[in-house]
Amino acid sequence: MEKLLLHICCGPCSLYPVQAQREKAIEPVGFFYNPNIHPFMEFERRVDALETVSNSLKFDLLWDPNGYGLEEWLAALKGETRHGRRCMICYGLRLNRAASKAKELGMNAFSTTLLYSRYQLHEAILEQGRECARKHGIKFYYEDFRKGWSKGIETAKKMRIYRQPYCGCIFSEYERYEKRAGRLNQRFSESISSQGGATTA
């Protein structure tokens, strides 16, 4: 059975891709490297969920020695916070590490569970995957795992593992609550106005 290094972003997103590859006689070796996930408690919850999936589906799982990487991720962004642009940088950072690891291990190819999510920029992931493959002289295995989206969610619910509400990026989390934060700020403004402009330290 052929082996492939599968970059994994989280437990729920790995369920369908692992099963789909096995159906093609490919045995995935999981690789967790996601310095974009913050804060630490969120990172830890995703690690726990992935360990549960790995034990259940019985596939090997490798961890990047840098582990939680807030400073590394922020340094890579170089101040870029715009959606789309920051995503390209983030995809490139993670897939470059996966391609390098796959090459180091002597594997023929690498892929990523990012291709499973309906919320990620699919074409950008494909572009970055192919670019990293060229850079390291290794094949990028592409499959549109989104076709298994519903099946993956159903399985994750049955396993009762943590399903995250955002990609992990602090800017994504900010955008998710931006309108809600705006309403809260409006409440503050109205409260201050009703008090005659009084403020507290």
What integer pLDDT is reported at residue 180 of this predicted model? 81
Pair 43, 169: CB distance under 8 Å: no
What integer pLDDT is reported at residue 201 of this predicted model? 47
What integer pLDDT is reported at residue 198 of this predicted model? 55
Residue 51 CA to residue 18 CA, distance in Å, equals 14
Q: Which two tokens stand for residue 115?
A: 């291709």
Q: Which two tokens stand for residue 43?
A: 């990172």
CA angle 59, 60, 66 (to 5 degrees): 135
What integer pLDDT is reported at residue 1 of this predicted model? 67
Q: What is the secondary structure of 58-125 as a DSSP string? A: T--EEE-TT-S-HHHHHHHHTT--STTHHHHHHHHHHHHHHHHHHHHTT-SEEEEGGGG-SSS-HHHH
Q: What is the mean pLDDT of each run of 10 residues along the chain (201 residues)?
A: 92 98 96 97 97 98 94 96 96 98 96 97 98 98 98 97 93 86 82 68 47
What integer pLDDT is reported at residue 190 of this predicted model? 79
